């Protein structure tokens, strides 16, 4: 190959290499830009996901806190029915609660005694229960119909107290008293006091209290 042709070949090869290098750089830069763009997008998505997770956890924590506060308020409301911290006033306190029902409902019941020193104990069947239980003995007298109203009002008013061990006695026997009452109520009438014997009623009230 003569020198002139050799020179032309070198020039053509150089131009070809230059074009290839130029194409490579264009393609490389384009791909590099796309990769960087994808990295930015992925970082944005990652950041958005992290923010969403933080927001979700924040809302969940706030929701749990709100639920806990509401539960605390309901519990505090129910604890208002607990006996006072001063044990020496427990009997007077319970007597006041019972007399309030009797007076407000106009019931013909007479509260005779309320034990001032109740039995105290743990609440069974619930491990590590935060409250204890006090049991008061109560004696009253009155009529069957009035006592039925008293029981209904008591059970509806107090969530933390219940009545157990009910013992009812009448001079002419409880079956006769109940029979007169049921017959009257079944006919739409209220039995009069003169038609019913006065009852002697004994029962126990169990209430929760928090140890101070």
Q: How far lies 25's CA from each of 13, 28, 38, 39, in Å?
A: 18, 5, 19, 20
- CATH architecture of residue range(s) 87-209: 2-Layer Sandwich (3.30)
One digit per residue, pLDDT tens: the chain, 212 residues?
Answer: 666 665 555 555 555 555 555 555 556 566 666 767 777 777 777 777 777 776 766 666 766 676 667 766 776 666 777 788 888 899 999 999 999 999 999 999 999 999 888 888 887 656 667 788 899 999 999 988 899 999 999 999 998 899 999 999 885 554 444 554 555 555 555 555 544 578 899 999 999 888 76
Q: Is 173 left (phi over 0), alpha (psi -120 to 50) or beta?
A: left
pLDDT value for 108:
92
Q: How far apart are CA 50 and CA 37, in angstroms?
A: 20
pLDDT value for 34:
72
pLDDT value for 120:
87
pLDDT value for 13:
54
pLDDT value for 65:
73
pLDDT value for 94:
93
* Residue ranges with strand state E in the chain: 109-114, 119-122, 132-142, 161-170, 199-209
């Amino acid at each position: 190959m003569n020198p002139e042709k050799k020179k032309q070949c070198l020039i053509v090869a150089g131009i070809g290499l230059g074009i290839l290098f130029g194409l490579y750089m264009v393609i490389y830069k384009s791909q590099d830009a796309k990769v960087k763009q994808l990295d930015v997008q992925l970082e944005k998505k990652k950041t958005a996901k992290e923010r969403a997770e933080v927001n979700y956890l924040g809302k969940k924590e706030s929701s749990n806190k709100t639920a806990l506060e509401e539960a605390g308020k309901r519990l505090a409301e129910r604890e208002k029915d607990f006996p006072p911290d001063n044990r020496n006033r427990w009997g007077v306190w319970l007597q006041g609660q019972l007399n309030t029902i009797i007076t407000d409902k106009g019931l013909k019941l007479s509260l005779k005694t309320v034990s001032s020193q109740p039995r105290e104990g743990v609440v069974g069947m619930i491990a590590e229960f935060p409250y204890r239980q006090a049991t008061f003995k109560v004696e009253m007298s009155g009529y069957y119909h009035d006592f039925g109203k008293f029981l209904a009002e008591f059970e509806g008013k107090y969530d933390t107290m219940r009545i157990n061990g009910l013992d009812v006695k009448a001079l002419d026997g409880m079956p006769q008293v109940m029979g007169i009452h049921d017959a009257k109520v079944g006919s739409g009438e209220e039995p009069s006091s003169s038609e019913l014997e006065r009852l002697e009623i004994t029962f126990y009230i169990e209430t929760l209290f928090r140890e101070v």
